[in-house]
Chains A and B, each alone.
Chain A
Amino acid sequence: MTEKEDYGRLIASVASSRDREAFARLFAHFAPRLKSYLMRSGAGAAAAEDFAQDAMLNVWRKAALYDPARASPSSWVFAIARNLRIDALRREQRRTFVLDASDEPDSLPPADAIMADQETAQRVLAVLETLPPDQQKVIRLSFFYDMAHAEIAQQLGLPLGTVKSRLRLALGKLRAALEVSP
């Protein structure tokens, strides 16, 4: 298991004093996971390595923009990587990709396994955990497959309509729960 590091403080330290040691610790945690993320999304190892490098370079450059009141450190890093991915990955690369969904856990591990040091993160993740495992799974798979959902349906052995309705149901519950709570 990973030690509980305060990534928000490391990002702040990079922003305020260009702290290379703090950055190296951020890199040690996030870069191998970003590489993993992109490989699961269809990239080869070398491209995924370059992607993790580019994403972390943006973390270094944009650290001053990080606002802990708005996002947890991991979602901020994720959004940086996501923006790069939109620009960098061609649809063709994603399409040819086949991932075995049986590797995917049915649900996310409990929230205390990570540091969610921010209110939004805690709320959305807490609500996510209240969803049935099959609904959590389609949300999770949506982060790796494109929105046609055809691959998700194939991987889960479900009709496309079932995947779509499951996803909409899950998103509707998330949205409703988040809107109701203050």
Chain B
Amino acid sequence: MTMRPPNDDTLLAFAAGTLSSSHALVVETHLALCEPSRAWVHELEEIGGRIVSDLEPVALEPDALARILARIEAPHPEEPDAPAVSEMPGLPEPLRRYRMGPWKWAGRGTRIRQVLVPNEGEARVLIFSIDPGRRMPQHTHTGVEFTCVISGSYSDESGRFGPGDFEEADDDVSHRPVVDSDVPCVCVVALDGEVKLEGMLGRVLQPFVRL
């Protein structure tokens, strides 16, 4: 079964490392679930490797080699990306690396928690869990929103989105997907820019997004 992948230019930006860490995490979640996208990103990384190989080298500090050799000798604590810190079952590996904020109620049948990514800058990563038949909170935004479904599914004007499917929404989109699976739809969302939440949910979501 083919999953809905991100746009090619989004995958290129991921491969190049020019996405914000928040948006990159949602792309990584998709990649963990979608082998064809992983293979395509590997190809794009080959271009990156080639570009770096071809760059004019820049001289290092005189003590650079001594410094790195000292660093590799030094004992180091366990890799920070090794332990899974999230208690949420069923999360794809990239999301298990991060701690999560508490679940917050966000309207009937809707819960939201924040993924505590470092260096989040302007962007936020949220996990939504929305019960069957419920709608996502309505909002508009000026930035780019990435969504990857982890379990369950939803539908909106552009179709149906199930596990691993990726959707990106530009500014001015005000869509209200409805959950059409018989289990809750869990998805990870990166939000960016000015987010405007409508109705009382604005107050509920205030702690999560910079308004």
A-side residues, CB < 8 A to B, are 20, 23-24, 27-28, 30-37, 39-41, 45, 48-49, 52-53, 56-57, 60-61, 70-79, 81-83, 85-88, 90-92, 94, 108-109, 113-114, 116, 120-121, 123-125, 128, 139-140, 142-147, 164, 167-168, 171-172, 174-175, 178
Give complex CA distance A79, B41 in Å. 10
Tell me how many residue pairs across A and B have CB atoms closer than 8 Å. Answer: 175
Chain B interface secondary structure, helix, strand, loop or mixed? helix
Decide yes or no whether B101 CB sits under 8 A from chain A: no
* Chain B residues whose CB sits within 8 angstroms of the CB of A147 once the complex forms: 9-10, 12-13, 18-19
Q: A74–B61 contact, CB under 8 A?
A: no
Give the distance to chain B from A182, nearest Cβ to Cβ, in Å.
13
Q: A82–B15 contact, CB under 8 A?
A: yes
**29 intermolecular pairs with C-beta atoms under 8 Å apart:** A20-B69, A33-B53, A36-B56, A36-B57, A48-B58, A57-B68, A71-B45, A72-B49, A74-B53, A79-B49, A81-B52, A82-B16, A87-B119, A114-B50, A114-B53, A116-B46, A123-B43, A142-B12, A142-B16, A143-B17, A144-B16, A145-B18, A147-B18, A147-B19, A164-B9, A167-B9, A167-B12, A171-B8, A171-B9
Q: A78–B8 contact, CB under 8 A?
A: no
Decide yes or no whether B71 CB sits under 8 A from chain A: yes
Q: A33–B52 contact, CB under 8 A?
A: yes
Decide yes or no whether B108 CB sits under 8 A from chain A: no
Q: A33–B55 contact, CB under 8 A?
A: yes
